[in-house]
Amino acid sequence: MHDADDDGSDYNDKEWSSLLEGDDVTSSPPPPRQQRARQQNLQSDMTIKWSLCWCAAFILPMTAILGHYGAFTKPSPAPSNPAAAASMASLSADSLRDWQHTIDRCEDLHVLPGPPDDFLTTRQKSDRVTDTTPHVLIKNARVWTGQVDADGKYQTLQNASLRLRYGLITEITEGGTAAPAAEKEEETVVDAQGAWITPGIFDMHSHLGVDAQPSLSGTDDTNSRAGPIQPQLRTIDTINAHDLAYKRTVAGGVTTTLVLPGSANNIGGQAFLIKLRPTQERTIDSLALEVPYNVATPPSPSSNSSSSSRRRPRWRHMKHACGENIRRVYSQTRLDLAWNFRNAYAEATKLKRAQDRFCERALEAHAKGSYLRHESSSSAAEEFPDDLKQEALVDVLRGKVKVNTHCYTVEDLNSFIRLTHEFQFPVAAFHHAHETYLVPDLLKQSWPGNGTATPAVALFSLNGRYKREAWFGSEYAAKVLSAANVPVTFVSDHPVTDSRHLLYQAQQAHHYGLDADLALASIMSTPARIAGMSHRVGVLQPKYDADLVLWTDHPLKLGATPQQVWIDGIPQLVEPFPPAVVPPNEAIDPPPQASLPGDYNPLRQQPTDDGFDFLDYGETEHTPQAELVDRVRFVNGGGRLECLAEDCPAEKGLRTVDLKGGALLPPLVTYGSAIGLTDIISEKSTTETSVPDPLSSDSLSSLPHFLSQRTVPAAHDALAFDGKQLRTAERNGVRVAITAPPGKGFLQGFSVAFRTGAENVLEPGAVLRDVTALHIQIGHLGSAASVAAEIAELRKLLSGKQNNAPANNDYVASIEEAFALVAHEALPLVIRADKADVLASLVKLKLAIESKLPQKMRWVIHGGQEAHLVASQLADAEINVILTSPRSFPTTWDARRALPGPPLTADTAVTVLHHAGVRVALGVEEEWQPSSLMWEAAWAHKLSRGQISRSDAVKLVTTNVEDLFNLPQHASSSSEHLPEFVAYEGDPFEFGARVVAAHGNNEIKIFP
């Protein structure tokens, strides 16, 4: 689609390679004005003697003659349109200024973005510095700088000092040799005491501010629905100044964020970089980092929208998207989506060519002291061809925009890469991109196709299988891609996942095989380079922005938390409450990687073994009594556990497996997701349909009869086994799942407890309990009914239930019978609720109803984001809690007061509830999350500041869950009353541990 003289031929391969990899191009061609000056100088040198000879004899007389006709230059060729070149003298002052602006645009047409050549050499203070920016010296630190040495290794400094001045890093020394501060200069000294310092985290895909927390209809500006092609839209126009996530995100070490539009459109609009520290101006412009010059912003002390140097444009950023989201929003197919892209770029190409032709004529006229006269006015110049909707796409074609493309599948990736060749433009990164690890060589074919401009891949570490596009994702994707030399970065897609815990994704990737340095780079230096910001952020070196994090532990260790975060040299955590800092001698190295085979497939058949002998030098957690054992042996013969003790009799011919300081723990129990009722939650044909809300009936007068006669849905009737989600959960120690019917209304139905590794419901022991609990929801969770109506209905259904409950709770006929079981303590009632006021009303209701009953009911709160505010009242009412976001993620108004935990608060929701006497368990929200359940227990322990022991933490995801649902203890549910367990190689409270075996239901499974 492009001619040979289009922008693809304006730059050589080396320059394009540097551009597309995100590096700053310091050898790009000078602007046309400078090129002409060089040519003129050369011509002058060659003809100077000839010119001198002719000056007196010919040139001076001819000057007088030509001056008479007002023509001092050689006549230009006839223009291609009716507008003729005219003398500049006929332009008004305003028109002359407009013409000069037009010439500036033409001269900058082919200049690649990047910082000025002297950006670092002349930089004495940050363009974001404030009057209150402190002078800081950090000493005695271990520093991961993000820089790569000459030998290709990432640089680590020991006993290092960093000096921060005027928003910049001004000095980094190793060996405790920092120079003293200047006389009379106030300097805050921070002793890191051997702790780790890294660059600030760079989140390259976030909707922070445009999909603000708490989520409200009045603040969700993530997507336009005006049409699939919207390149003119800008996130800077929508970023919310009051998003609750700013402060929480900084508390996770994130300092810079690329705020993207959503993925409802093929082209969703332009993205903007922001830093996350509050500013004196309290404006969005003052948060923005290197706003492109075409965005008009008012000047301010902290704003960097204007600059005295405009030698190069700044990078622009744009969101593109392929696949399911656009199909769903506009009822289109991939045929339409491909045409949407091609048509948009075809129109942009027309405008680009018109600009090129215009600028060729304009620069030629300007060089002769003329201008292009406007058709309709002799005193006005012809205008630069432009279109406010198309101009950003034209800049894409000119290589001035970092294109970030939401694209999951091989077919979509292939289609988009064809598009890059048809219209010759680079791609900065493919986002989500779950199938890229299957086709790394395809990525290297992106335009210009020489393998030097491979787009990066912006991934989730584990979040997957939530739609068809994500079905083939792998936790090993980062490892595979990096081995193929494809740059990898992890992103939050906030609020899809919590940007505060972006580090957690890098940690998980390292667990699954990504090199430790590359894991850190994936959220620090790599995204900075991809976004074109590697000249100022992403690494620690002098003259760079003073954006850095002081950690409690090695940043790849589970539970590592910021002690302090500096943005532009300003500390962001006021009176921080970090968890216990790990002693320096224990925080030297990153955690080990799990010894997982590179070709691990969670769906393949598990191997069997006639006999083996495990040795463990760690700990063992027995049920129902918690008991730590220094060394334990167990012997398996023919798939049957024969001995579990500190000293089992040795037998010949048994294979020995060393657990390497690991542990035997009870089977993990997951609750909160639809696992077992869905494979792909967004596909109706693979998912159990949501239960209709009985309180949403249009005829309120019919409700009593309707509810009393209605049967209760039971999850056990729709169980589906052997799915990818279940196999992955089992492979990570989750042996039991409790799942309720899906639904957003008042009534969900009966949950079921089942084994994740069973073949089907007919397998003996597959279902532990058909009817486990009755589930309802109260709050703003999707129901059309009010909170008052929901609580009133609950009161009515539980009142007057003194009669005997049904004898068989496995086959309850009606809602009234179901609530009779609850009233008679025969069945737990699980209530999904977050808001403290709703929880307080439920406490009051339970006590009132129990005053008329001979027994107490078993109530469990599911969710409980604000439960810490009424912890003692919940304990007094004997209401227990399953926290579905134990590290708190307040996405809704009802959860906005969720306790953030360290370093923002000393306590977590777990510690407050535990201290109050509430029995607490940890749940999940989505089907991919059970595989991380043991890590969540470890988080609870590590963030508790000693209040939650390791034993208590294990209970949060094992026996406490069983107790809340009144399930039988696993100690007596297997052969010969020997306990069920999961065997871990390595410490399960750290990354690098893995499940190697599990015992239960009269069998032992061995995992590869």
pLDDT band per the 50, 70, 90 thresholds, residue 321: very high
Q: How many CB atoms lie within 10 A of CB 352?
A: 25
User: What pLDDT is stored for residue 653 in this prediction?
Assistant: 60
The confidence band for 578, taking pLDDT boundaries of 50, 70 and 90, is confident
- Average pLDDT in the 814-835 region? 92
Checking if the pLDDT of 968 tops 70, the result is yes
How far is it, in rounded angstroms, from Cα 703 to Cα 224? 39
pLDDT confidence of residue 830: 98
The structure tokens 């030998």 sit at 151
Is it the case that residue 264 has pLDDT exceeding 60? yes
Q: What is the pLDDT of residues 433-450, one digit of tens each?
A: 999 999 999 999 999 977
164: which strand partners?
A: 136, 169
Amino acid, single-letter form, for residue 304:
N
Q: Which segments of 861-973 does DSSP mark as H helices, in order? A: 871-876, 909-916, 933-942, 950-956, 959-964
At 175 the pLDDT is: 86
Distances (CA, A) of 258 to 113, 186, 197, 201, 649: 17, 34, 23, 12, 61
What pLDDT sits at residue 807?
57
Q: Do domains 201-300+313-537 and 693-714+743-748+770-974 have the same CATH topology?
A: yes
Banded pLDDT at 145 (limits 50, 70, 90):
very high
> What burial letters (b/e) apply to 517-545, b meaning 16+ CB within 10 Å?
bbbbbbbbbbbbbbbbbbbbbbbbeebbb
**Pair of tokens at residue 148:** 């790569």
Per-residue confidence (pLDDT) for residue 519, from 0 to 100: 98
Strands (E), 552-610: 562-567, 570-571
| Nearest-angstrom CA–CA distance, 15 and 17 | 5
Mapped onto helix, strand or coil, the DSSP state of residue 366 is: helix
String of DSSP letters for 360-389: HHHHHHHHTTEEEEETTEEEEEPPPP--TT
**CB of 363 closer than 8 Å to CB of 31:** no
Cβ neighbours of residue 388 under 8 Å, at least 6 residues apart? Answer: 232
Every domain of the chain and the residues it spans:
201-300+313-537, 599-637+653-666+979-1008, 693-714+743-748+770-974
Residues of the chain above pLDDT 70, percent: 79
Q: Name which residue leads in pLDDT, 630 or 887.
A: 887
- Does the pLDDT value for residue 594 go beyond 80? no
| Range from 286-300, 349-363, 581-595, 672-686 carrying the lowest mean pLDDT | 581-595
Joined together, the tokens standing for residue 327 give 């199909």
Give the integer Cα–Cα distance in Å for 7 and 15.
12
**If you average pLDDT over residues 832-841, what whole number do you get?**
98
Residue type, 742: P
Q: Which residue blocks in 221-311 are alpha helix, DSSP H?
A: 245-250
644-660 core/surface letters (b: 16 or more CB in 10 A; e: else): beeeeeeeeebeebebb
Residue with tokens 């009669």: 803
Read off the pLDDT of each residue in 657-671 and give the average, rounded to a whole number.
Answer: 88
What are the backbone dihedrals phi and psi of residue 575, each rounded to the nearest 5 degrees, phi first?
Answer: 50, 60
Query: Which of 977 and 471 is assigned the larger pLDDT?
Result: 471
- Average pLDDT value for residue range 74-102: 67
Dist CA 860 CA 878 (whole Å): 9
Least confident of 233-247, 390-404, 599-613, 857-871: 599-613
At 876-887, the pLDDT tens digits run: 999 999 999 888
Main-chain dihedrals φ then ψ at residue 643, nearest 5 degrees: -155, 135
**What's the mean pLDDT when you consider all of the chain?**
84
Give the pLDDT score at 66: 33
Architecture of domain 201-300+313-537: Alpha-Beta Barrel (3.20)
- Token readout for 635 is 């012997």
Q: Which amino acid is located at 502 in the chain? A: L
**CA contacts within 13 A on the Cβ side of 91:** 22
**Which residues touch 494 (CB under 8 Å, ≥6 apart)?**
203, 206, 207, 208, 211, 245, 249, 257
**What average pLDDT does the segment 137-162 reach?**
96
Task: Check whether 608 has a pLDDT greater than 50.
Answer: no
Specify the pLDDT at position 30.
42
Reported as a single tens digit per residue, the pLDDT across 41-65 is: 434 443 433 343 343 333 333 333 3
In terms of pLDDT, which residue wins out, 904 or 781? 904
Type of residue numbered 104: D
Query: At residue 327, does pLDDT exceed 60?
Result: yes
- 248 vs 12, 213, 244, 459, 500, CA distance in Å? 44, 11, 7, 22, 6
How much of the chain exceeds pLDDT 90, in percent?
Answer: 68
Between 630 and 329, the higher pLDDT residue: 329
Confidence label for 635 from pLDDT (cuts 50, 70 and 90):
low
Q: Is the predicted pLDDT of residue 939 greater than 90, yes or no?
A: yes
| Superfamily, domain 693-714+743-748+770-974 | Metal-dependent hydrolases (3.20.20.140)
pLDDT-based confidence at residue 815 (cuts at 50, 70, 90): confident
CB 1006 within 8 A of CB 608: yes
pLDDT tens per residue across span 328-384: 999 999 999 999 999 999 999 999 999 999 999 999 999 999 989 888 777 788 999
**Total residues found in the chain within this entry:** 1008
Average pLDDT over residues 888-894: 93
pLDDT of residue 71: 35
More confident residue, 716 or 186: 716
Per-residue pLDDT at 292 exceeds 80 = yes
pLDDT of 309 over the 60 cut:
no
Report residue 651's pLDDT band, with 50, 70 and 90 as the boundaries: low
